[in-house]
């Protein structure tokens, strides 16, 4: 999707590139009130936005929309950047741009998540980032929950709720032959080998029954009807239905 030269009317092949010294000078002038320098600084950092949105090129989102959202993150970075810190602007801006795009993707997700769950999840992510910076290691869910004064289960549920859905047909491994997809790694507890063999034996057993026995078992166990309903439908007594059913099941046990 990045073969196109023009994004949102911007010719990406002609975007200027600013040196670090130029960036600092422009930022200083912007913070001193020379807002005419703001547009030049933004244009000089649009390539940074382009490099970030490449990370999201598998989401199926419109690249123009992501570019515009990324530009919002860039402008927020300009407004909040502290020149007194010994930090490159790109180091500060990239997480801001990524955060803005992620918020956009979450808020526009086809799977709607309640506002309260999103709030818990965002607070949990903020606490996680703070603890990583303080301890230089990934905190546990229990530590995050303790900081938020919330049950661990609530934090887990909230973080799971904001995860992006994954296609069952998304490839996860390729060795030069057939690809392995997500669906290949998911077990089916309902349609197991045992149930498959059981279905075969039931079908084989049904073939050995008389027509009336087949009919009654189908009505009873596949259509879910009572013995009285079956009796009314085929015109015999409930006692006869019960007797035929018992004999048929007894015969079926030889095969199942």
Above 60 in pLDDT, residue 1?
no
What helix, strand, coil percent values describe the chain, rounded to 5? 65, 5, 30
Please choose, from the candidates 99, 102, 100, the residue with its C-alpha nearest in 3D space to the C-alpha of residue 59: 102
pLDDT for position 81: 84
Distance of alpha carbon 26 from alpha carbon 36, whole angstroms: 10
Say if residue 129 is in the same domain as residue 161: yes
pLDDT for position 104: 84
Chain-centre distance for alpha carbon 26: 40
Greater confidence (166 vs 233) lies with 233
Among 34-43, 60-69, 191-200, the minimum mean pLDDT is found in 191-200
Please choose, from the candidates 78, 16, 65, the residue with its C-alpha nearest in 3D space to the C-alpha of residue 43: 16
Round the CA-based radius of gyration of the chain to a whole number and report it.
Answer: 32
Greater confidence (184 vs 74) lies with 74
- Which of the 8 DSSP states describes residue 68? H
Domain end among 84, 108, 132: 108
For residue 197, being part of any structural domain is answered with yes
Kindly indicate the confidence band of residue 149, based on its pLDDT and cuts at 50, 70 and 90: very high
Distance of alpha carbon 32 from alpha carbon 35, whole angstroms: 8
Q: Pairing relation of β-strands 10-11 and 6-7?
A: antiparallel
Domain assignment of residue 209, given as a range = 193-252
Say if residue 120 is in the same domain as residue 223: no
Domain end among 58, 76, 108: 108
Q: Is the pTM of this model over 0.85?
A: no
Q: Quote the mean pLDDT of the chain.
A: 80
Say if residue 155 is in the same domain as residue 99: no
């Amino acid at each position: 999707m990045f073969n196109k030269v023009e994004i949102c009317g911007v010719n990406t092949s002609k975007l200027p590139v600013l040196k670090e010294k130029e960036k600092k000078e422009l930022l200083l002038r912007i913070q001193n009130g020379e807002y005419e320098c703001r547009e030049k600084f933004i244009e000089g950092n649009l390539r940074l936005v382009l490099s970030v949105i490449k990370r999201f090129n598998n989401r199926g989102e419109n690249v123009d929309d992501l570019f515009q959202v990324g530009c919002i993150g860039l402008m927020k970075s300009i407004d909040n950047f502290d020149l007194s810190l010994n930090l490159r602007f790109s180091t500060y801006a990239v997480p801001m741009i990524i955060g803005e795009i992620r918020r956009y993707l979450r808020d526009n997700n086809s799977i709607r998540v309640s506002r309260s769950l999103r709030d818990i999840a965002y607070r949990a992510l903020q606490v996680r980032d703070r603890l990583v910076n303080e301890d230089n290691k990934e905190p546990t869910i229990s530590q995050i929950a303790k900081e938020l004064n919330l049950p661990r289960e609530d934090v887990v549920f909230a973080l799971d709720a904001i995860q992006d859905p994954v296609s069952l047909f998304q490839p996860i491994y390729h060795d030069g032959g057939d690809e392995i997809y997500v669906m290949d790694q998911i077990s089916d507890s309902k349609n197991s080998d045992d149930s498959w063999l059981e279905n075969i034996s039931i079908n084989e057993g049904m073939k050995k029954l008389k027509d009336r026995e087949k009919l009654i078992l189908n009505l009873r166990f596949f259509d879910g009807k009572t013995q009285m309903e079956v009796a009314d439908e085929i015109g015999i007594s409930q006692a006869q239905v019960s007797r035929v059913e018992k004999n048929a099941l007894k015969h079926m046990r030889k095969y199942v």
